[in-house]
Amino acid sequence: MPDVDVGRICDIDPARVAHYQRRYPAAASSNEFEAVLADESIDGVVIATPVFTHASLVSSALRAGKHVFVEKPLAASSGEARILVQLAGEHDRVLMCGHTFLYSPPVRAIKRILEAGELGELHYISSSRVNLGPYRSDVSVVFDLGPHDFSILRYWLDSLPHNVSAMGRDVISTGVADFAFVNAIFEDGLVANMELSWLAPSKLRRTVLVGSEKMAVYEDNSPEPVRIYDSGIEYRDPETYGEYHLAYRTGDIVSPRVDTSEPIALELKDFAGAIRGEVDELPNSRIAVDVIRMVEATEASMADGGRAVPVAAHGAGLEREAWS
Ligand SMILES: NC(=O)c1ccc[n+]([C@@H]2O[C@H](COP(=O)([O-])OP(=O)(O)OC[C@H]3O[C@@H](n4cnc5c(N)ncnc54)[C@H](O)[C@@H]3O)[C@@H](O)[C@H]2O)c1
């Protein structure tokens, strides 16, 4: 980024530091995060470490007066996530979580289409986010891939599901679910179905939205990432006895032009803008906490044979924990 200086590179693994030092020869480097925190020339830190380190690294950075961008998910539990948001408020620091898809131009295009009411009343959303790996050993597929779909849903619908039910299995590594089928039910009856998998023959990133007026398909990395189908089924009162009641409508398929900007560049630009006070409010702290509540409800359902778990049961009334 032209208006941001990389002041320091830090990783506990010296080989990773050496690798990135070649890209940023002018930056100082260290194997200890404390050295970053003690450096008064650093305004903000970008944390991209395993999820179980997020709470302690983010909280110590906020306490040291740094603005923080942390990769998704914000923390390993909704309790930790809430404390981090609270801490950022107390220290008047920017805390932004890397829910990259909130900056994806096709995701934003669909948000505009939904807000304009073009699809009519939404009946269901169905998404597939599958690939052969890459496996993570520290968290399940729900914690790894789920935050992408959960953050997109939360952003598009501006609400949380009423409850979540999910089934999955840990076939490759015991205790770490490698695929999950998640159903999220919203207050108004909308059903969102998500297939998350590290165990699939090829990469698929596809979401279908079915509304009363039109249908849409969002396919990441496709040359036409958003397609709107003027398709539907209408019930008609029969004029003659025996006339068929249903009329199928298959009209135009429109693929709106979508900006090709790189989402991660847009989100980091917003982070820098927020530090400078140029971006008023980052919508994503609240979303980041809600995403973890959805992950927790999904994992609770999987652990309980697919029982419907209310999302409201997760992340309420949490107090500060020992690590803070
Ligand atoms: N937004 C996205 O699309 C996206 C994609 C991939 C990963 N991620 C997220 O990024 C984060 C990191 O994932 P990854 O795949 O890069 O992991 P990784 O294991 O490849 O890299 C993590 C790095 O953190 C270093 N590290 C661990 N503890 C540290 C500490 N205390 N201080 C300094 N360095 C430390 C490790 O040595 C390692 O080099 C995760 O939260 C993951 O969910 C987000």
Nearest ligand 1 atom to the CA of 99 is 1
In 3D space, the residue among 129, 114, 249 whose CA is nearest the CA of residue 181 turns out to be 129
Residue 117 CB contacts under 8 Å (≥ 6 apart), including other chains:
213
Pocket-testing residue among 31, 51, 71, ligand 1, by greatest number of atoms within 8 A of Cβ: 71
Output the CA torsion sign for 116, 120, 126, 128: negative
Pocket-testing residue among 9, 16, 46, 49, ligand 1, by greatest number of atoms within 8 A of Cβ: 49
pTM equals 0.94
| Cα end-to-end distance, the chain, whole Å | 33
Name the CATH superfamily for 102-263: Dihydrodipicolinate Reductase; domain 2 (3.30.360.10)
Distance 54 CA to ligand 1 centre (A): 10
Ligand 1 pocket by Cβ (under 6 Å): 10-13, 16, 33, 48-51, 53, 57, 71-72, 98, 100
Q: Where do the domains of the chain lie? A: 102-263
Whether 214 and 197 have beta carbons less than 8 Å apart is answered as no
Nearest ligand 1 atom to the CA of 57 is 31
What is the pLDDT tens value at each position of the chain, 324 positions in all? 989 999 999 999 999 999 999 999 999 999 999 999 999 999 999 999 999 999 999 999 999 999 999 999 999 999 999 999 999 999 999 999 999 999 999 999 999 999 999 999 999 999 999 999 999 988 999 999 999 999 999 999 999 999 999 999 999 999 999 999 999 999 899 999 999 999 999 999 999 999 999 999 999 989 999 999 999 988 888 777 777 788 888 899 999 999 999 999 999 999 999 999 998 766 678 899 999 999 999 999 999 999 999 998 776 544 444 333
